[in-house]
A and B are shown apart, each in its own frame.
Chain A
Amino acid sequence: MAKEPIKFRSSKHNMDYILLTVVLFLVGFGLLMIYSVSSYEASVEFGDSAYYLKNQAQSTMIGFVGLFVMIKFPYKALQKMDVMALLVSAVLIILVKSPLGITRNGASRWINLGFITFQPAEVAKIGVIIYLASIIQRLESLGKNVIRTPKGLAIILVPPTIIAGLIYLITNNLSSAIIVMGIAVAMLFVAVPDYKWFVAIGAAGVAAVAALVIAVSNADATGSNFRLARIQAWLDPESYSTDRAFQTLQALYAIGSGGIWGKGLGQSMQKRGFLPEAQNDMIFSIICEELGLFGAFTIILLFVVLIWSCMVIANKTMDRFGSLLVVGVMAHYAIQVILNIAVVTNTIPNTGITLPFISYGGTSTLFLLMEIGIVLNVSKYCR
């Protein structure tokens, strides 16, 4: 009975409820897992097993506000904010070095604006997406393949590179820099008709990585270089079990000991101090341990649905700017999920990348939800 009017309305004004449902499920599941994973450590350290849960719930509430604002906010207005988005991102990153900057666990990645504390790198991701969507749309509207001229490429790639460079140099956050660059490359890939350059660059990248791996595996194990050591630990975690590969190996223990059906929700052993701060980057390994292969596949499939839904929205949108915004967000999610699971399963060397919607972290939750808000907003204008 209710089906009829919805169908009628969906053709013009309705947004993608499947996507919203998937996201709400992921957020709810994330909260559940954060409680499960962190309660032991939280009760030992803070005497409050819900310490992390409460913080994350608070961030999620703010995130939902952001989500609804972005659903209502006419996304086309963002198109005029392109340069501003970039500048705000850059300024916020630089502010980390100012007295507003906050250092936690030895990393200077936060700023405190009095009413809110957040990571500028997360702002930069959304900033870069807005900038690129806007600038590509504008270059395309000029026609004549301006986008494929060196000047056009420079306009597209140089600002995100600067932002990524700032993130890496100022906050020493390689993973966010990689994500920013990844988003830029993905959006460029979508914007231009070429394949061969990307294939060539991809092949060169693979070759470079292979050469690096061979060089590192033959290099001295003494490696004072932090990243070199990480790569060595990646290649042979069991030889570096006590120091460099400690976290990776503990994550592997968690994943491996989960088996097909897992130990049951709340039954993880690895979260009991063996895998420190498992609620952050390594939360997927505890999901594997508690919910087994079944749970892990469910999560992976939900992300597949999420990414697929983004693609469908992007391709249904008549407006190029909206479409590019959605592509940027899709690329952001895809890169982060792939890299996170790849790190947790020791498929690539360890870099701190969180699992979207599930890992603990206030800023990333807020901006991820805002991005979903933008996508849902765009979805209202489909077809």
Chain B
Amino acid sequence: MSHLKNKSRMFWTAARLSAVLALTTAGVAKSQAAEGSGLGTADAPVQIRMIANEAFAKQWQTNMVPEFNKTYPHIKVTIDGVPYAELLPKSVLDLTGAVPTYDIIIADDPWIPQLAQTGALLDLKKDVANWTSPDYDWNDFNSAPLAAGEWKGAQYGVPLRSNLLLMFTNKALYEKAGLPAPTPKLTWAEYFQQAPKLVQDTNGDGKPDAWAIDTYFMRDSLTPTIWQTILNSNGGALLDKDNKPAFNNEAGVKALQTHIDLLKYAPPGGVSHGFNESLQAFRQGQVATMFMWGSVFKGTAVDAATTTLKPEQVGIQVMPVGSKGPGAHRGIWSGAISKKSANQQAAWALLQWLSSKEGEVWHANTLGVFPARKSTLAKAPENAWLVPVYAALQQGYDAAEAGQMWRPRHPKSDAVQQILADETSRAISGEISAAEALNNAARKIERLRL
């Protein structure tokens, strides 16, 4: 496999050399020569390789790649899946090689700065501008998802799979409690007013069997995103302009305390619940609301194999409104290209196609992947279940943009998030107070010298 690939690489280097020679001697138009070789021909296809999250690598390989090959038949794409937890270190390690294995790297929201600081990523707005189609509309992207691929003024990634932390609601449980189904206007005050009524006994055996909320409470680097979003929707920020902690104050304590107070209305054992557990509790119809990544909507509301709920029972909307506005926390998967890749043009052809207006519509309609473009979100989706999702996404992008609701844009982003995870978990499990936890976290984050 790799042997073959090396051979084809050598071949293309040679081809490129001869193209350059041709350019200098005969003055052939450079773009044409490069295009002919960069995208492959029937006799000499180009091989590109991509590293991606195992959760969707196989789906892409079996569905997306054949669709891509309808337009670009001579680019062979291999996608290697890596478990989420190890994807970042594996990508960083690969980028550092003299001849990296991967041409394309798929990066989660906070990773672009960490990958870009290796100096091994292409600036997609500059370095490959020659190969960018004139109708590739950068301005059509919602600015929040596009910004996930940007760092220090360079656009290293394009949004391929967009996601937001949103509020899921079980309308049936709201009805049973005699409460109106929530709307995007729901405030935190109203939310906490209703929460006690949502802890209810639905089968009449005298014991509560449905609760108001389940979400991230356990020690996990994503748990702090819940109170970070609350902080943001109250107009606060995690770090100030100089990357100094700005959360160890009254606003921060209030946000974290709100997160802790949610636990009162969570099912027993909620303190050790995270992504998987809250998802299961919601899918079993045991909790009325869940703050969760929108991408789980299909498996939660539509797919009868994984959920007990029906689409009409499940609502999706932005998180409750704080003093500044509603909340939504950004989580975008961006595609980036290695600077040392020998097949930059083919790699960019794939990313461009998948994030183009047409590609994104196909991606959303066929695979149910969330889009980032305004034009896609404005069109009616083919699947009826995506209609409420699109509405929530558009609202969420606007909210995230207005409140800068994302993890720190810094090469040490994950280090910050780890520290917050520790202290958040200590506060949630009652070991220390919210104020104490935030002071500890601020002290440790300052020591990171961001």
Answer whether A and B are interacting partners.
Answer: no
Residues of A within 8 A of B (CB): none
Residues of B within 8 A of A (CB): none
